[in-house]
Amino acid sequence: MDITVVHGDITTQQVDAVVNAANRRMRGGGGVDGAIHAAGGPAVLEDCRRRFPRGLATGDAGWTTAGDLPARWVVHVVGPNRHAGEDDRSLLVSCYARALEVADELGARTMALPLVGAGVYGWSVSDSVTAALEAFRTTDTDVGEARFVAFSPASYDVVSAAL
C-alpha cells in the first residue's frame, strides 16, 4: 500500500472512500465530521440514521454513501476521546484497521484519511499517525493508496516526517 500525505480539504479528494472521524452518535458534529456531512449533503446523515440507529462503538467503523462528495463512500470511524478518559491507544489503532477492513468489504482501493482523534478528542497528530502506521503494517488489505489529508501546514509537516 502506498501511504501519502497532502495538505488540503478531505471533502475534495478524488478517492473511492473518505474516512470520517465521527462521534458515537453518528449524526454529524464539528471538525472533519461536520465538514464531511456539510459537503456530502443530507444523504450522508440519512444513511447514518438508517445504518446506525444506535450509533457506533469507539474503535469501530462503518460506511455510508458519500452523497455529494467526489468519493463513492464515507467510512466512519469513532476515535477514543482522551478528554473523556478514553486513553486506550488500541482503540485509535482499531479505527484505522477497521477503516481498511470496511474499505476492503466495499472494494475501495483508494482512501483519504484525516488524523483520527487529533483535535478535539485530545490525541496528538504524532499519536494519530503512529497509530495509523501500526494498523497499516498489521492489517492485510487490498487498499492501494491511503492518503492522509492534513488540514494545517503543521500537521502536514508532522505526517510527512513520520512517513
Q: How far is the C-alpha of 50 from the C-alpha of 64, rounded, in Å?
A: 9
Is 109 within 8 Å of 2 (Cβ atoms)? no
Q: How far is the C-alpha of 136 from the C-alpha of 29, rounded, in Å?
A: 27
- Asked whether the predicted pLDDT for residue 11 surpasses 90, the reply is yes
3-class state of residue 89 by DSSP: helix
For the stretch 94-135, pLDDT in tens is: 999 999 999 999 999 999 999 999 989 999 999 999 999 999
- Asked whether the predicted pLDDT for residue 136 surpasses 90, the reply is yes
Kindly state the average pLDDT of the residues 124-149. 97
Q: Which domains are delineated in the chain?
A: 2-161 (3.40.220.10)
pLDDT for 119 equals: 86
Residue type, 58: T
Can you give the pTM of this predicted structure?
0.97
Which residues have a catalytic role annotated? 33
For the stretch 12-55, pLDDT in tens is: 999 999 999 999 999 999 999 999 999 999 999 999 999 999 99
Residue 2 buriedness (CB in 10 A; 0-12 / 13-18 / 19+): exposed
Kindly state the average pLDDT of the residues 140-158. 97
CA nearest neighbour of 29 among 18, 45, 17: 45
For the stretch 73-94, pLDDT in tens is: 999 999 999 999 999 999 999 9
- Residues near 62 by beta carbon (within 8 Å), at least 6 away in sequence: 26, 51, 52, 56, 75, 76, 102
